[in-house]
A and B are shown apart, each in its own frame.
Chain A
Amino acid sequence: MIFSIVITGAPYSSQASDSALRYCQSLLNLGHSIHRVFFYADGVHSGSSLAAPPQDESNIPAQWAELAKNHELDLVVCIAAAVRRGIIDADEARRYEKSADNLAQPFALSGLGQLVEAGIVSDRIVTFGA
Chain B
Amino acid sequence: MSENKKSFLIINRKAPYGSSAARDALDVALTISVFEQPLSLLFLDDAVLQLLPSHKPDQIGQKNLSANLAMLEMYDIDQLYVSRTSLEQRGINPDTIQLKIKPLTEPEIALLIKQHDQVLSF
Contact = CB atoms under 8 A, between A and B. Distances in A.
Interface of A: 6, 8, 40-42, 80-81, 111-113, 115-117, 119-122, 124-125, 127, 129-130
Given A120-B4, A125-B118, A81 B24 contact: yes
Given A119-B118, A120-B6, A125-B119, A113 B24 contact: no
Interface residues of B, number: 23
A117 B120 contact: no
B37 to A, nearest CB: 7
8 contacts: A113-B31, A113-B35, A116-B34, A117-B35, A119-B32, A119-B118, A127-B119, A127-B121
A8 B120 CA distance: 11
Contacts, number: 58
Nearest to B24: A41
Contacts of A112: 27-28, 31
Contacts of B37: 116, 119-120
B8 interface: yes
B1 interface: yes
A116 to B, nearest CB: 5
B17 to A, nearest CB: 14
